[in-house]
Structure 1
Amino acid sequence: MPGWFRILEISASSLTAERFRMEVIANNIANANTTRTERGGPYRRRVAVLAAREEAPAPFSEWLSRAMAQVGVRDFRPPGIPGAGAEVAGQVGAGVRVVAVGEDPRPLPLRYDPTHPDADANGYVQMPNVDPLLEMVDLISASRAYEANVTAFTTARQMALRTLELGRS
């Protein structure tokens, strides 16, 4: 059963990362016209940097293993199935995590608006380097990835429940 928990942990890590990515994108859209931030300049587009996790945290799996050891249960696997930690061809990683939130280094565009309170002596205003159209495309991409992970999580959960039902009969 630990393999099922690992699948759910991987999917959950991706759900968390994609939700965070959507929050960063929503923040970019909300600040697409912010010409003065707390730091003094215009808002700079932010990007969530995702990376593969090296190890999957397994708090529930560890808890379950300890509980099984306390009641004397050692192994539910039929003979011939590799144990936890065994190398399996095509083995998946440990999920995904947010490494950092970086600022987009692209230059800030200038817009001529001499009446704007943040205009310089020549009448130009530095605008955020946020393209709302690009942000919407990124938001759709993150949303689709989130939906795919919800489907994977639900499917894995249903398969685990079916497996348990088969074990009862």
Structure 2
Amino acid sequence: MSAPLTIFQVAGRAMSAQLVRMNTTASNLANAGGVAGSAEAAYKTMKPVFRTSFDQASSLATVDVEKVVTAGDAPTKRYDPSNPLADKDGNVFEAAVDETRELVDMMETARSYQNNVEVMNTAKSLILDTLKMGR
């Protein structure tokens, strides 16, 4: 049986999961508008899949990234015969990244990360105040 989780471990794991989310969002935004010569080669939006676990010993729930999956719409086919990446029919395939959704995800992720920083700061402050009471 493992030791009970602390609030610092719970918040740290949540921050780590949000960091993965931020990195996938940044990758999606960086590849928005990118083109390829086939639908298979075109960039596909990535999203993390979170897994929640309950720790019986501490009665705390944690979150981890289980995996990162591709999601969203299929690449958009566009006729552009002058593009060096065009296929034999003159088509290129543009990554279907919804930039508005990605920016909303980025703001949501940043807020969640900041909330977990605040949880850690509050827990630290409460521990220090409790130690001062003993003096």
Task: Give the CA deviation at 1:114.
Answer: 2.3
Structure 2 counterpart SS, 1:120: coil
Q: Give runs of aligned pairs for residues 42-121 of structure 1, distance below 5 A.
A: 42-55=42-55, 85=57, 91-93=59-61, 95-104=62-71, 106-121=73-88
Correspondence for 2:35: 35
1:133 lines up with 2:96 in the alignment: no
Question: Which string of whole-angstrom CA distances, capped at 9 and with x for unpartnered residues, describes residues 20-41 of structure 1?
Answer: 110111111111133249xx61
Distance in 1 between the 2:72 and 2:129 partners? 50
**Please, what is the CA RMSD of the aligned residues?**
2.4
Q: Which runs of 5+ in 2 are unaligned?
A: none
Correspondence for 2:132: 165
TM-score (norm. length: structure 2): 0.84
Distance in 1 between the 2:77 and 2:11 partners? 42
Letter aligned with residue 141 of structure 1: E
* Amino-acid identity (%): 28
Letter aligned with residue 160 of structure 1: I
Distance in 2 between the 1:134 and 1:102 partners? 16
Distance in 2 between the 1:99 and 1:29 partners? 22
Structure 1 stretch 149-158 or stretch 99-108: which is displaced more?
Answer: 99-108
Larger radius of gyration: 1
Distance in 2 between the 1:127 and 1:55 partners? 44
Distance in 2 between the 1:48 and 1:156 partners? 28
Distance in 1 between the 2:53 and 2:31 partners? 30
Q: Which runs of 5+ in 1 are unaligned?
A: 57-84
Distance in 2 between the 1:140 and 1:7 partners? 24
Correspondence for 2:7: 7
Task: Give the CA deviation at 1:55.
Answer: 4.1
Correspondence for 1:20: 20
Q: How many residues align?
A: 131
Correspondence for 2:110: 143
Task: Name the CA shift for 1:131/1:30 in 2 (closer, same or farther; >3 Å).
Answer: same
